[in-house]
A = this chain, B = another copy of it.
Amino acid sequence: MSLPTPLSTPLPTSPKAVLIDLAGVLHTGDQALPGAVDALRRLRDSGLPLRFLTNTTRSPSSTIIAKLQAMGFDIHGGEVQTAVLATKKLVQMRGLKPHYLVHPDIAEEIGPSSPTPDAVVLGDAGPYFSYDALNTAFRLLMQGLPLVVMARNRYFMEADGLSLDMGAYVAGLEYSAGVKAEVVGKPAQPFFATALADLGVAAEDAVLIGDDLMDDIGGAHAAGIPGILVRTGKFRPGDDTHLDIRPALVADDFAAVVDILLAQS
């Protein structure tokens, strides 16, 4: 579970772009976190280019963006990079014909399963991770099909507490089928590289703000991007004193991070 280069590069004195995780940083469930809407407005007013990077794969990007806008966030479609759309791009580039085990809400965005699949692609099916659906995927993996997963997060914060994320099902299929999954979203390096290339910014000149020590901060550090951990969302005591993954900065919440970034620049 450890990443190759977990140590952070230092925070840039004047960052040129900000990559922002969504759930747990800007909001929990349908609730904006305190001060987050206003903080995003102030960050945007500074003129810094922004990208929102999410591993949430239970909803299509249109739903994610509409939900954020309904909470009052000034966010637009072109700024949001989702693991679902990155997976769709990867499938197209490689010409794969996947069997999809995904949430029905993203079926339209990702496309239909092939009747003659050459890969198994997993998203966060949540309550649709039935035994039968997993067993179907397992049997395809035992036939030698590769496993591509949109994410492998361990858990996420819901309104009523921490909840199991799709990583549990990824780890389970890997164990039983004796395979290793390819991850498309965070902490995969191409996912960060795409955002940096879009913005035309070098890794060490950007910062990433996230609540997931392993997949946000660990992933960013492996990509050379300084990671800022917030004590909201799935943050748990001890995440800020982890021996291997040390954030460039730990702050109470997104608003506090914005205060620090704007005071620097």
Contact = CB atoms under 8 A, between A and B. Distances in A.
Interface of A: 126-132, 134-135, 138-139, 142, 154-155, 161-165, 167-178
Q: Give the number of copies in the complex.
A: 2
A165 B138 CA distance: 10
Contact of A131 (B126, B138, B173, B175): B126
Given A129-B131, A130-B130, A139-B162, A154 B175 contact: yes
B167 A175 contact: yes
Contacts of A175: 154, 167-168, 170-172
Nearest to A173: B168
B154 A135 contact: no
Contact of A134 (B142, B168, B173, B177): B168
Contact of A164 (B138, B161, B162, B168): B138
A135 B142 CA distance: 27
Given A127-B131, A128-B131, A135-B164, 6 more contacts: A127-B132, A131-B164, A138-B168, A139-B161, A139-B163, A168-B176
Contacts of A138: 155, 162-164, 168
A168 B162 contact: no
A171 to B, nearest CB: 4
Of the listed residues A138, A165, A174, the one surrounded by the most CB atoms of chain B closer than 10 A to its CB is A138
A175 B174 CA distance: 11
Given A132-B127, A134-B168, A176 B161 contact: no
Given A127-B130, A129-B131, A134-B168, A162 B174 contact: no
B139 A154 contact: no
Contacts of A168: 134, 138, 172-173, 175-176
Of the listed residues A132, A139, A169, A172, the one surrounded by the most CB atoms of chain B closer than 10 A to its CB is A172
Contacts of A131: 126-129, 164
Contacts of A164: 131, 134-135, 138, 176
Nearest to A236: B142
A172 B162 CA distance: 15
A162 B140 CA distance: 11
Nearest to A158: B135
Contacts of A171: 171-172, 174-176
A176 B1 CA distance: 11
Contacts of A165: 176
Nearest to A154: B176
A132 B126 CA distance: 9
A153 B171 CA distance: 14
